[in-house]
A and B are shown apart, each in its own frame.
Chain A
């Protein structure tokens, strides 16, 4: 089920950005800033760093909108990939420099530990992306059970569905979410953001 064509909005946005239309940049920000910033924040746990990633990602899109290939997925997933890449770079630098500050200039953190940090930050950010993109009925069920601590019977009542259905939604929602933990193959972009082929 590859997407053959990106939605019209994506293509038109790409054209408008390529034309150098500042109003298009504003619209792009309005649509994706929350995604970019929260994803960067989830990975870096630092407000200023998330701001910087946001600036960098939008600058990349604005400077080079042609880099977006609609055949490879939505603009949203592309922006999420750029954000992920920027955040990973920044995370590596941050971990390395804080390690060096603690253990002396030439000290480098254990590469495995560094990779573990990157992986867990990636999974966390990917989980947010999956939650934000999953079908609303699944998300609502998870919100009720997790945020509001409703049991599945109450969740069913809140949503006006059968208890069977509530159980099913909770399980499906978690199954989807669990894919965030999947380890990406070497060199492949992480699942959840679309994949280049």
Chain B
């Protein structure tokens, strides 16, 4: 009960998703209907709350008789006000668990199959799409079954219907008093009241615990130590596997409204920071669209559809965004996740055979293993964007994965410097060497987890970066370097420490920022 004051002030749209009774959210059909009594069905009337996108529902095949998918409820006595209808059968109240025979009514004796609303007659359980309207003649007469509570004018049925609200202390003082009076004289209601009060004791609000993101790899390692995989996830797909899982765990925990939180995507283009506004759901759409390049390369379905699709990440993203009829919602999560799972699976089966297969991004291409690393990097960066937008913490990748991401950027840098030189944005080449020979280099010293030393060849992508030919050294924290490569900080403010040839350092830092894109 603690700490829930914050969200309770919020508007209605905050209510869903913001704070919830914790516990993993599952699908309705996971409940074993045999062993848990089924409730009467809440009518899925026009005003039903947004059930359009229950968590994970898209992945869960419809189970038989999932309660909320059943048809309209027969108009039971509980639906109608006391003045307008009575039960069809004049018998005892037939909806509630007090229907249970006296000998097995108590919560202690009642087996799970007997307790609760499963006692309702079959006509309550089966959907009755054509059940008579409450206003049919034979229902016109209300049939109070027990005496009304003295002095309140509330009938047994009304008081009984209030039991849930009463147990939750969610009715008015007068109603509470009336219910409590009634309980002294109505044994079935007293029994139920006791049971419902006990049930309230099982609710709790101690926030759903965020899973430690490192647990996944520990669990996987433990499993694989006990039974090695016959089809392992290849090493080059491991960072993508880990980062998509991390982002997915974040997405699972955010509320419906947070999917519409604004996100500013930033990158570095034409020597300056540029940005683009979208939402959390829009970011996932962006990831889906660009990950789709790998899908296409692996022979899987392109999320942009069949036929000619653009390869440029920005064009793909624009295409994906504009194809949506309405602003994207949390429904984007499932296709994104299904695609990433499928990519990992396919990459696993293909193994080393396709690691070198080329994935075209339009203006450039990467071997599949680097493309997977690039997508892992993007997934982390945009996961961070989303986490910022919804005010969640988000850690850096595992050190080994971070190291590989940094390594990819370092390997791309000589070509990026050369490209900028051709565009007149970097200093002239000073010393051309034969391909594969050591050339003038900048020593990139990356500190922290996943760090290391890289030597970036300055004058030609064909030259070999080398410690002996280092003309400058620049030191950066690993995460800072990645933020620079993502275009989240400017090259001017990036370096922690530098010494040597200033122009060489400048060229490398600007080239790093130029690796960023939407």
Residues of A within 8 A of B (CB): 1-4, 7-9, 19-27, 29-35, 37-39, 41, 47, 51, 54-55, 58-59, 62-63, 73-74, 76-77, 123-124, 127-140, 142-152, 155, 158-161, 164-185, 191-195
Question: Would A164 and B81 count as touching, CB distance under 8 A?
Answer: yes
Q: Is B252 an interface residue (CB 8 A)?
A: yes
Question: Would B170 and A178 count as touching, CB distance under 8 A?
Answer: no
**0/1 interface trace, chain B 177-212, chain A, CB 8 Å (1 if under):** 000000000000000100110111011010011011
Residue ID in chain A nearest B224 by CB atoms: A22
Chain B residue total in the interface (Cβ 8 A): 110
* A to B CB contacts below 8 Å, 18 in the list: A4-B64, A21-B231, A25-B223, A26-B344, A34-B249, A38-B23, A59-B223, A76-B26, A127-B199, A127-B203, A136-B28, A142-B203, A147-B19, A151-B165, A152-B168, A170-B168, A191-B111, A192-B112
- Report A-chain residues with C-beta under 8 Å of the C-beta of B36: 130, 176, 179, 191-192
Question: Restricting to B460-483, which residues have a CB under 8 Å from any CB of A?
Answer: none
Residue ID in chain B nearest A126 by CB atoms: B202
- Report B-chain residues with C-beta under 8 Å of the C-beta of A160: 47-49
Residue ID in chain A nearest B119 by CB atoms: A175
Question: Would B227 and A38 count as touching, CB distance under 8 A?
Answer: no
Q: Is B408 an interface residue (CB 8 A)?
A: no
New A-B contacts (17) at CB < 8 Å, excluding given A23-B341, A193-B32: A20-B227, A22-B229, A26-B216, A51-B212, A58-B219, A127-B202, A130-B36, A135-B28, A138-B39, A151-B170, A158-B15, A165-B43, A165-B79, A167-B161, A167-B165, A178-B115, A191-B36
Q: Which of B49, B167, B344 contacts A137 (CB 8 A)?
A: B49
Known A-B contacts A161-B47, A170-B165; the reply to A179 vs B112 at CB < 8 A is yes
- Report B-chain residues with C-beta under 8 Å of the C-beta of A136: 28, 49, 51, 54, 68
- Report B-chain residues with C-beta under 8 Å of the C-beta of A174: 163-164, 167-168, 195-196, 199-200
Question: Would B341 and A27 count as touching, CB distance under 8 A?
Answer: yes
Question: Would A137 and B171 count as touching, CB distance under 8 A?
Answer: no
CA distance A174 to B164 in the complex (A): 6
Question: Restricting to B415-437, which residues have a CB under 8 Å from any CB of A?
Answer: none
Question: Would B67 and A37 count as touching, CB distance under 8 A?
Answer: no
Q: Which of B21, B24, B227, B337 contacts A147 (CB 8 A)?
A: B21
CA distance A2 to B248 in the complex (A): 33
Known A-B contacts A21-B345, A175-B117, A176-B37; the reply to A168 vs B227 at CB < 8 A is no
Question: Restricting to B1-55, which residues have a CB under 8 Å from any CB of A?
Answer: 4, 7-8, 12, 15-16, 19-37, 39-43, 45, 47-49, 51, 54
Which secondary structure dominates chain A's binding surface? helix
Residues of B within 8 A of A (CB): 4, 7-8, 12, 15-16, 19-37, 39-43, 45, 47-49, 51, 54, 56, 59-61, 63-68, 78-81, 96-97, 107-108, 110-113, 115-117, 161-165, 167-168, 170-172, 192, 195-196, 198-200, 202-203, 205, 208-209, 211-212, 215-216, 218-220, 222-224, 226-233, 241, 245, 248-249, 252, 337, 341, 344-345, 348
Q: Which of B78, B113, B192 contacts A168 (CB 8 A)?
A: B78
Question: Would B42 and A165 count as touching, CB distance under 8 A?
Answer: yes
Q: Which of B43, B49, B170, B199 contacts A159 (CB 8 A)?
A: B49
- Report B-chain residues with C-beta under 8 Å of the C-beta of A26: 216, 220, 233, 241, 245, 341, 344
Question: Would B34 and A9 count as touching, CB distance under 8 A?
Answer: no
CA distance A21 to B205 in the complex (A): 37
CA distance A135 to B232 in the complex (A): 38
Question: Would B199 and A180 count as touching, CB distance under 8 A?
Answer: yes
Least CB distance from B314 to A in Å reads 29
Question: Would B111 and A185 count as touching, CB distance under 8 A?
Answer: yes
CA distance A123 to B196 in the complex (A): 14
Least CB distance from A90 to B in Å reads 16
CA distance A146 to B229 in the complex (A): 45
Least CB distance from A144 to B in Å reads 6
User: Closest 10 CB pairs between A and B?
Assistant: A171-B164, A20-B230, A191-B112, A170-B164, A194-B32, A127-B202, A128-B23, A22-B229, A133-B31, A178-B199
Interface centre among A146, A171, A172 (most CB of B within 10 A): A171
- Report B-chain residues with C-beta under 8 Å of the C-beta of A134: 28, 31, 39
- Report B-chain residues with C-beta under 8 Å of the C-beta of A178: 107, 115-116, 195-196, 198-199
Question: Would B222 and A23 count as touching, CB distance under 8 A?
Answer: no
Least CB distance from B442 to A in Å reads 38
Question: Would B24 and A132 count as touching, CB distance under 8 A?
Answer: yes
Least CB distance from A151 to B in Å reads 5
- Report A-chain residues with C-beta under 8 Å of the C-beta of B56: 31
CA distance A34 to B111 in the complex (A): 29
Interface centre among A22, A30, A152 (most CB of B within 10 A): A22
Q: Which of A24, A139, A171 contacts B161 (CB 8 A)?
A: A171
Known A-B contacts A22-B229, A176-B39; the reply to A38 vs B203 at CB < 8 A is no
Question: Would B42 and A29 count as touching, CB distance under 8 A?
Answer: no
- Report B-chain residues with C-beta under 8 Å of the C-beta of A179: 36-37, 112, 115-116
Question: Would A38 and B208 count as touching, CB distance under 8 A?
Answer: yes
Known A-B contacts A38-B22, A194-B35; the reply to A182 vs B168 at CB < 8 A is no
Q: Which of B63, B108, B228 contacts A183 (CB 8 A)?
A: B108
